[in-house]
Structure 1
Amino acid sequence: MAFEVSYNLENEQQFWDELDDIVSTRCQEHEIIDNSLRSFLNVTTSYKSEYLQTDYSVAKCVFRLLEGELFAAHKEYVRRQIIYCLLQEDDNPTLHVVAAVLLYDGRNSNDDVIFEMMHSEGTFPRLVELVQLQAVQEDTRLHQLLLELLYESSRIQRLTWEDFLAVNDQFIIYLLGIIEGVSDDAEDPYHYPVIRVLLVLNEQYLVASTNQQNNGRSGVTNRVIKAISTHGMTYKTFGCNLILLLNRESETSLQLLILKVLYLIFGNPSTAEYFYTNDLHVLVDVILRNLIDLPHESPAASALRHTYLRVLNPILTNSQISRPPYYKREELLRLFHLLVTSGNHFAPVDETTVRLVQRCTSVPWLQPAATVADDDSPTNGHNTTHSPVEHMANGQKELARRALGMSVQGGGESSTSVLEIATHTEKPGVQTPSLGRVVH
């Protein structure tokens, strides 16, 4: 740096006082702003090992800047200079502070300006590069912070063709390997950021696949699904954690991200049996419980309900659940009946729900004849002329809950369904109420 200041701070209070002086700088000239930012980075990186040893202290430091006069008066300029630091710096302490500023600024803002600026400056390939650097991997806190920044910035803007080129098969395998190698605990601090990066990449591929124009270029390969297709037996922990997170997650946008990857996994013949059968049963339990508990008043719940049903169809059609002994057949039929029947719990049923339920109930093994054939009894031609939903007795929510007994193609899917599931989104932070949780 052209401008350096040597600091000799004797205690933590002097450190925070010095930061307050820097971020309170009042100026108009870019040169003075630059000098203040250099001073901020200099003092924070010089004393990082002493006074910024925790995530809380780093956040406290960053918010000193974000709430200071320097940032308030020159937001656009300061943000762009911090982005340039991310693009150019290789020093771990500096990267840590810079990434924290960008992440907390993005999360703290009511708009997406900082992530839009990052996108326009091409930070995605840089972040992909950084998280794979050996020096960064050895700094666990920095590595996790960069993964979180990669996720947050990538779910706001569509990736460009150049962005997609930065992701190769080795990068996806690397991420799956982190999940597989650290532990089998979904609460592991590494798992959540890594899984969310894979989820948002899958969504980006899904959205890109619905827009094949892409400036005349051919569609991009979904490297997440490709990796599961070719290496799924090696990386099973990712699938297990998807089920755990779907059962626990209350943020609508994240549930949608999980459902989108499940939709593609079960819609692809090479990945439709990726999950162990026992895990598949748990997944069906989670979907049944969440569908029965979703409220009708919420627009977010409506989008979730439709997405759950779209995911359930390829599960029923393509996975091993489509073979005897037909797991939760009666419970599924009872739920489908409730979803299309107006009553004192359900509001008037929307046409999309009816259509999606009809699609699910058209699965061969849910037909009345399937059970009759399994019993080696003569089929009843009269029964086979009706949808299984029409044969279910009226029931209320609690009856259905007790009966549940909790212990991309294909399956009639169309290009319209792919487009609908790809475009279902929700703002980060929106919670969907009344979701039950399956406990095994």
Structure 2
Amino acid sequence: MAFEVSYDLENEQQFWDAEYLQTDYSIAKCIFRMLEGELFAKNKQYVRRQIIYCLLQEDDNPTLHMVAAFLLYDGRNSRDDEVFEMMHSEGTFARLVELVQKESVQEETSLHQLLLQLLYESSRIQRLTYDDLMAVNDAFILYLLGIIEGASDDADDPYHYPVIRVLLVLNEQYLVASTTRYSDGRAGMTNRVIKAISTHGMTYKTFGCNLILLLNRESETSLQLLILKVLYLLFGNPSTAEYFYTNDLHVLVDVILRNLIDLPHDSAAANALRHTYLRVLHPILLHSQISRPPHYKRDELLRLLRLLVSSGNHFAPVDETTVRLVNRCTSVEWLQPAAAESPTNSNGNRQSPVEQAAMGQKEYARRALGMTVQGGNESSTSVLEIAGHTAQPGVQTPSMTKQAQ
């Protein structure tokens, strides 16, 4: 049955004085009726562009609310990213950054959240330009961190998720920008997210707590990757390596152990995600509080790393990237066995039990497939690999637990 509404009006002024679309549900229903209408179906490009122009030019909250809702729902409902790409080409990023900080917008919670969601969705589909990123200053990042800190320590708070996702996607954009050399001589881009935490981390601890909570519950690969990219940079930076509370760090290690165990071995997507987890695990082992005694779950970590490179657990040889990354993790000093128990490698250094297993795995691969595992500059490779590892929104992470259900 079609949605119908009727009003009894005595005069024209009554119509103009009445209040319409007062709930998020009614606004969403109105927008979807517009998206399903004949006018939009026949003139999509024109209508979208006019709506984007409204976003760029209008300042009154009711108009901004309808415009933001239209672009967000249209973008999410489309099978392609045409809406967000059009927004990008029209330069809406700086405008959204401006609107999110506007006092009158902040006073209207539902509009503020819509704009944060639109900022996130339109920023994750392609690289931001140098000028786009220049629209973000330190004050904006601290403002977002302040929202998280001021709301509560509950990750289910309606403000937390939209704000955290904006910070995550900005960090990813900075990470990608760090791998780019500008031909016109422009200076490299400072990652303002990491900078803010390095200078104000003690003030904004809730962001870190909620990162771990979200990683623990997140089943969408693209969002897991966004979280892992922040963790990689935080633990790889001496000024932020101990940003997390020790108890929270222990929870993070538990989450990483569980997720690594749960990833299947017969999936390319799972392999790529496993590599990213291992790249994040290494700086955690090397630089965080668990690098000091008592070392948290040392035996469990070694058992897991052995498992990942043991040929007896798989139908085919373990891929060389996993072997290399596991060896990198086990090279951390506090994971090494006592000197009397350990043979040496070709460099005369102690060889860990996991490295011994990995060497056997390499030999098996060489004999079976003619493969040779090459060394390389792991640190620069890891940055490029992590920066380039993405996934389509909505794609769920492969899980052996779910497969067994």
TM-score per shorter chain, which class? 0.7 to 0.9
Task: Identify the range of structure 1 (136-145 vs 339-348) with the bigger mean alpha-carbon deviation.
Answer: 339-348
Aligned counterparts of 2:16 and 2:69: Cα–Cα separation in 1: 13
Aligned to 2:372: none
| Distance in 2 separating the partners of 1:214 and 1:266 | 30
Question: Cα distance 1:260–1:435, how it changes in 2: closer, same or farther (>3 A)?
Answer: farther
Looking at structure 2, the residues matched to 362 and 268 of structure 1 have their Cα atoms a distance apart, in angstroms, of 19
Of 143, 146, 154, 1:174 maps to: 143
TM-score normalised per structure 2? 0.87
Aligned to 1:315: 284
Deviation at 1:212, TM superposition (A): 2.1
Give the Cα separation in 1 of the matches to 2:16 and 2:90.
24
Matched AA of 2:194: I
Equivalent-residue separation in structure 2 for 1:344 and 1:229 (angstroms):
41
Give me the whole-angstrom Cα distance separating, in 1, the residues matched to 2:398 and 2:62.
40
Distance 1:148 1:172 in 2: 16
For the pair 1:161 / 2:153, whether they are aligned, the reply is: no
Which runs of no fewer than 5 residues in structure 1 stay unpaired? 1-10, 16-43, 373-378, 393-411
1:428 aligns with 2:393: yes
- The answer to whether structure 1 residue 216 and structure 2 residue 185 are counterparts is yes
2-structure distance, mates of 1:145, 1:335: 42
Inter-CA distance 346–287: structure 2 relative to 1 (3 Å threshold): farther
**Per-residue CA distance 1:282-323 (angstroms, 9 max, x = gap):** 000000000000112333222211100000000000111101
Query: CA 1:113–1:214 in structure 2 vs 1: closer, same or farther (change >3 Å)?
Result: farther
- Residue 214 to residue 118, structure 1, CA distance change in 2 (3 Å): farther
1:276 aligns with 2:245: yes
Partner of 1:230: 199
Q: 2:152 aligns with which of 183, 187, 190?
A: 183
Distance change in 2, residues 1:188/1:46 (3 Å)? farther
| Structure 1 SS opposite 2:154 | coil
Q: Where do 1:106-185 residues align within 5 Å?
A: 106-185=75-154
How far apart, in 1, do the equivalents of 2:179 and 2:69 lie?
34
> Which residue of structure 1 aligns with residue 369 of structure 2?
none
Q: Report the secondary structure of 2:226's partner residue.
A: helix
Q: Does 1:353 align with 2:325?
A: no
Aligned to 1:367: 336
Instruction: Report the CA distance shift for 1:192/1:88 in structure 2 as closer, same or farther (over 3 A).
Output: same
1:64-143 aligned at under 5 Å gives the runs 64-143=33-112
C-alpha separation in 2, matches of 1:45 and 1:132: 30
| Corresponding residue number in structure 2 for 1:292 | 261
Task: Name the structure 1 match of 2:12.
Answer: none
Structure 2: how far apart are the matches of 1:358 and 1:280? 22
| C-alpha contact (below 8 Å) 2:330/2:352 kept by paired residues | yes
CA offset digits 1:250-271 (Å, max 9, x no partner):
0000000000000000000000
Following the alignment from structure 2 to structure 1, what is the Cα–Cα distance between the partners of residues 50 and 207? 37
C-alpha root-mean-square deviation of aligned residues, in Å? Answer: 2.2
What is the CA–CA distance in structure 1 between the aligned matches of 2:111 and 2:16, rounded to whole Å?
A: 13
* Distance change >3 Å, CA 304–CA 115, structure 1 → 2: same
SS at 1:343 equivalent: helix
Q: CA deviation at 1:381?
A: 5.8
The letter for the 1-side match of 2:354 is: V
Change (3 A) 1:287 1:129: same
Q: Secondary structure at the match of 2:390?
A: coil
Contact 2:269 / 2:398 at 8 angstroms: preserved in 1?
no
Once the two structures are superposed, what CA deviation does each residue of 1:102-159 show, in whole Å capped at 9, x if it has no partner? 0011111111111111001000000000000010000000000000000000001211
Point out where structure 2 has 5 or more consecutive residues left out of the alignment.
8-14, 358-376
**1:58 maps to 2:27:** yes
Question: Distance in 2 between the 1:264 and 1:436 partners?
Answer: 29
The change in CA–CA distance for 1:328 and 1:107 in structure 2 (over 3 A counts) is same
- For residue 35 of structure 1, what is the aligned residue in structure 2? none
Instruction: Provide Cα deviations, 1:219-244, integer angstroms capped at 9, x if missing partner.
Output: 11000000000000000000000000
**Number of the residue aligned with 1:39:** none
One-letter amino acid of the structure 2 residue matched with residue 284 of structure 1 = V
Residues 292 and 335, structure 1, Cα contact 8 Å, conserved in 2: yes
Q: Distance in 2 between matches of 1:347 and 1:256?
A: 26
Q: What is the CA–CA distance in structure 2 between the aligned matches of 1:344 and 1:262, rounded to whole Å? A: 29
Change (3 A) 1:257 1:57: same
TM-score of the two chains, using structure 1 as the length reference: 0.80
User: Which residue identity is paired with 2:246?
Assistant: T
